[in-house]
Amino acid sequence: MSTLTIRNLHKNFGALEVLKGINLEARAGEFIALVGPSGCGKSTLLGMIAGLEGVTSGEIWIGDRLVNSVQPKDRDIAMVFQSYALYPTMTVRENITFGMESRRVPKKEQAEALKRVAALLQIEQLLNRKPGQLSGGQRQRVAMGRALVRDPKLFLFDEPLSNLDAKLRIEMRTEIKKLHHRVGKTTIYVTHDQVEAMTLATRIAVMHQGSVQQFDVPQMVYDRPANTFVAGFMGSPSMNFIPAELAGDNDKPALSIKTANGSKASLPLHGDAAARIKTGNVILGVRPEHISRFDPQTAARKPGMAMLTAPVELVEPTGAETIAVMKLGGQEVVGRFDRDQAPQMGEEIQLGIDMARACLFDPATKRLI
The full set of domain ranges for the chain reads 4-233, 240-361
44 sits in which H/E element:
helix 42-50
Give the pLDDT mean for 241-256.
85
- With respect to CATH, is domain 4-233 assigned 1.20.120.1770? no
Of 181-195, 239-253, 281-295, 346-360, minimum mean pLDDT range: 239-253
Report residue 169's pLDDT band, with 50, 70 and 90 as the boundaries.
confident
Whether the pLDDT of residue 324 is over 80: the answer is yes
Mean pLDDT of 139-159: 89
Backbone angles phi, psi at 2, to 5 degrees: -140, 165
Return the pLDDT at 250.
62
pLDDT of the residue at 141: 86
3 state SS of 231: helix
CATH number of 240-361: 2.40.50.140
Among 47-51, 71-75, 162-166, 178-182, which range has the highest average pLDDT? Answer: 47-51
- Mapped onto helix, strand or coil, the DSSP state of residue 214 is strand
What integer pLDDT is reported at residue 198 of this predicted model? 95
Q: What's the pTM value of the predicted model, to 2 decimals?
A: 0.89
% residues pLDDT > 90 (the chain): 67
Helix (H, G, I), strand (E, B) or coil at 34: strand
Phi, psi of 260 (to 5 degrees): -65, -35
Express as a percent the part of the chain with pLDDT over 70.
99
Q: What is the pLDDT of residue 183?
A: 87
> pLDDT digits over 68-103, tens only?
999 998 999 999 888 878 999 999 999 999 988 888
Strand 186-191 vs strand 240-248: parallel, antiparallel, or unpaired?
unpaired
Rounded to an integer, the average pLDDT of 32-48 is 96
Helix and strand numbers, DSSP H then E, in the chain? 10, 20
Pair 11, 181: CB distance under 8 Å: no
- In this prediction, residue 248 carries a pLDDT of 73
